[in-house]
Amino acid sequence: MKFKAFLTDHGVNLLEKRFLPALDKMGKTCHLYLTRDHAIFLHNLLNGDGIQSIAQFQKEALFEDYRISSQNDDRIAFTIDLSLLQRALRSVLTIYTEFGGSIGGDATANRLQIKLVKKTPPHSNQPMPFLTFETKGYKSAVIQDVPISKPLSRTDVLELQSALDMAQDLPQTLVQVPDMNQLQSFVDRMKHVGDVLNVSITKYGDLHLQISTSLITLGAEFRKLKVIGEQARVPPGDENLTAQTRTRRAIDKGDAMSVQVSVKHFFKSIQCHLAKPDCAFYGIAQQGSCLTVVFQFFIPGTRQTDKSISLHCRLPVLVDSGTN
Amino acid sequence: MSSSAVETESPDLVCELDNVQGMVDALTSVRWKRHQDAVLELSEHGIVLIVEDTGCLQAKVYLQRELFVRYEYSAHGRPRFGVSLGLFVDCLNTFCIPGHSGPIEFQYPGPDMQLLLKSTDSLSSCTYAEIRTRIPDTISWDYNFEPAGSTPISFTVKSSALKEAIDDLEWPGSSIQITLQPTPPSVTFKGEGHGDLQIDFMYYANMDLLTAFNCDQVVSHRYKYKFLRATTSNIPSSVIKDNRGSKLTIGRGGMLKVQHLVSVAKPSNSHQHIDSVGQPPSRIAYIEFFVKPQVDEENAYDS
């Protein structure tokens, strides 16, 4: 199996300044899944417990001269430690940026190469796989090896791919988060009050968050949010009801769904805004199987979706409250 | 809203506060343990929150009705109920989001004797909370503070200096001896335990530090360090920034009263007096601690 590519400046920026810090919050290690057309960072897709996240890049968004080959349909996947990856990238960047562009008109510009290698580490006689970064500086060259797991077998890659296919299902109704920073502050403080968060989403564009323990019920309701997908009109006479009553009525009518998730997972999902998305949407998957948050990125300077980047998370549901 | 229907009586209290951060600061100053049960007393004058520890330490937070933008009191008598202090403060904290500047409405009791909170941020978002209350099982210990003599023995010291002094005297399990003497007018804090450390505040030496002093006889008492520490450990940073003073009074039998003032004003408010001391009294919450003196071992078995 072979993988070699050169990171573009745009790719470096996307990873180092935006996505790697965000993905680091999702979990220490993740799968990196490379195919002919995509590079995908996957968290918790093969084990059921934690928050799942999928960050998918079309190869052109990150790389140029992308070459991949393997006996498994040119697909390669392995696990990698994100803090080691970030550290290695930062380290090569300090050298790479010393030497930006070509010297004295010479056409050969400096490049940041990334490739898969097998090396024998100093205190061992077993060759191990690494993801290696290489670049030149003014006076020095640098190689950073990031240890990775043994690449996944054909069966495991198939399993990963089907988990990925299943995770691409979008909820029928998604509501837009009005202010990620405000939501983050709120949930950060809510964490001290309880562990379980009820999330209700209506087709009218309401997002209702609530923590309920034996000692306290604490909630926040955001209404009139932008809706993507199935919508419905707000029934008349709803204005003076409490948030709880409004939500209950909407659920009874089939216009809303409600699930319970871990507050900590919810807080983690908000931290994806370190990737600097332009919008975020929450939705509940069919049958209340999970809570999904989808981040949207615009082509800079426009309001058109940049389809070469996608990021979404799926939060496991604690109790399928369904129409509770 | 409240009509002539039998079930819908006016709640005992509906009040509205425009700066929750101030209330959070005031209540945080009486948090010294992870789990504390507080008692709230409502009256037409305002709200008092009381916390106690093992009969040796009591703290009270006075939130006068003038602090509130609206205060509608219709109870008969003075309702009292218990809440978990930590939970109450953590809950209030969720209403303190930057950019979330609407007033908070409190209501007691709710349909199930809960304390209800609500904030309407805008036409399209709101935050709410319902906190379970309990019937307090003990009457709050009335510390019945009485002056030691004809003139109260007291001094006022800069809050930051008091906090620093107590922090410096930290010796686990030890006690602190506070001595006031009229000549020269001074206050001494002495830590006894492993070794000896003494901190003196001289009245005429530095008028910025010790801003008031009243003492006509030598008075000296010892207090358990952890209780004394509780009186300053969570002084909000606004008190330090506002350069406020704390007043300490020694009453009969050596009972110590420590008083702090916490600003509850909105920071960007257009008040007439915005200098360090000149806050209108209605924008201040009063905090009081009562600390029982340590009884000497020899007298331990006396009455």
CATH number of the domain enclosing B248: 3.10.150.10
Per-residue pLDDT at B273 = 43
Q: Does B89 touch chain A (CB under 8 A)?
A: no
A269's CB contacts (< 8 A; 6+ apart) are A51, A293, A313, A315
Q: For residues B175 and B211, state if they share a domain.
A: yes
Return d(Cα A158, Cα A72) in angstroms, integer: 9
**From the candidates B85, B90, B94, B134, which should be mutated to test the interface with A, based on the most A CB atoms within 10 A?**
B94
Residues B193 and B262 in one domain: yes
List CB contacts (< 8 A) between B105 and chain A: none
> By CB neighbour count within 10 A (0-12 exposed, 13-18 middle, 19+ buried), where does B128 fall?
buried
CB contact under 8 A, B91 and A218: yes
Asked whether residue B8 is assigned to any structural domain, the reply reads no
At how many degrees (to 10) do helices A180-190 and B85-94 cross? 180
Domain assignment of residue B247, given as a range: 153-267+282-298
Between CA B133 and CA A285 the distance in angstroms is 37
Q: What pLDDT score was predicted for residue B244?
A: 86
> What's the average model confidence in pLDDT over A234-257?
87
What's the CA gap between B267 and B264, in Å, rounded?
9
In a domain, B143, yes or no: no
Q: What is the pLDDT of residue B196?
A: 75
ipTM of the complex: 0.85
Between A151 and B173, residue with greater pLDDT: A151
Give the closest residue to B220 by CA, choosing from B192, B241, B262, B259: B192
In a domain, B272, yes or no: no
Q: Tens digits of per-residue pLDDT, A271-292?
A: 999 999 999 999 999 888 999 9
Does pLDDT of A36 surpass 70? yes
Q: What is the mean pLDDT of residues A41-61?
A: 93
Query: How far, in Å, CA of A24 to CA of A80, rounded?
Result: 11
What predicted TM-score, i.e. pTM, was given to this entire model?
A: 0.86
In this prediction, residue B102 carries a pLDDT of 75
Residue B137 in any domain: the answer is no
Q: Does B111 touch chain A (CB under 8 A)?
A: no
CA distances (Å), B45 to each of B76, B173, B252, B261, in order? 13, 40, 28, 18
Those residues whose C-beta lies under 8 Å from the C-beta of residue A24, and which sit 6 or more positions away, are: A82, A83, A86
Q: How far does Cα A195 stand from its chain's mean position? A: 23
Together in a domain, B174 and B291:
yes
Are residues B125 and B213 located together in one domain of the fold?
no
Partner residue facing B87 (CB), from A215, A221, A224: A215
Tell me whether residue B189 is exposed, middle or buried, using C-beta atoms within 10 angstroms of its C-beta: 0 to 12, 13 to 18, 19 or more. Answer: buried
The answer on B99 and B23 residing in a single domain is yes
Judging contacts by C-beta atoms under 8 Å, the chain B residues touching residue A193 are 87, 90-91, 94
CATH of the domain at B69: 3.70.10.10
Strand pairing category for A52-58 and A309-316: antiparallel
Most B-contacting residue of A193, A195, A213, A227 (CB-CB within 10 A), to test interface: A193
pLDDT tens sequence for chain B (303 residues): 444 444 567 899 999 998 898 899 999 999 999 899 999 999 999 999 999 988 889 999 999 999 999 999 999 889 999 999 999 999 999 998 876 667 899 999 999 999 999 997 777 888 999 999 999 876 666 777 777 677 789 999 999 999 999 998 887 668 899 999 998 899 999 987 666 788 888 888 877 888 899 998 999 999 999 999 999 999 988 888 888 899 999 998 899 999 999 988 766 544 444 444 555 556 889 999 999 998 875 444 433
Banded pLDDT at A143 (limits 50, 70, 90): very high
Tell me which residue in B93, B125, B128 faces A222 most closely, judged by beta carbons. B125
In a domain, B170, yes or no: yes
A182 touches chain B (CB under 8 A): yes
Distance, CA of A75 to CA of A161 (rounded, Å) = 10
Whether B55 and B108 map to the same domain: the answer is yes
* Same-domain status, B46 and B80: yes
Q: Are residues B292 and B208 in the same domain?
A: yes
Residues B169, B107: one domain?
no
In the predicted structure, residue A67 carries a pLDDT above the cut 90: yes
Q: Does B91 sit within 8 Å of A216, measured CB to CB?
A: yes
| Distance from C-alpha of B15 to C-alpha of B42, rounded to nearest angstrom | 11
> Is the pLDDT reported for residue A108 higher than 60?
no
- Among B186, B178, B263, B279, CA closest to B228: B178
Are residues B165 and B256 both part of a single domain? yes
Report the domain count for chain B: 2
DSSP state of A165: H
Angle at A274 between CA A270 and CA A280, to 5 degrees: 50
- Is residue B194 one of the residues assigned to a domain? yes
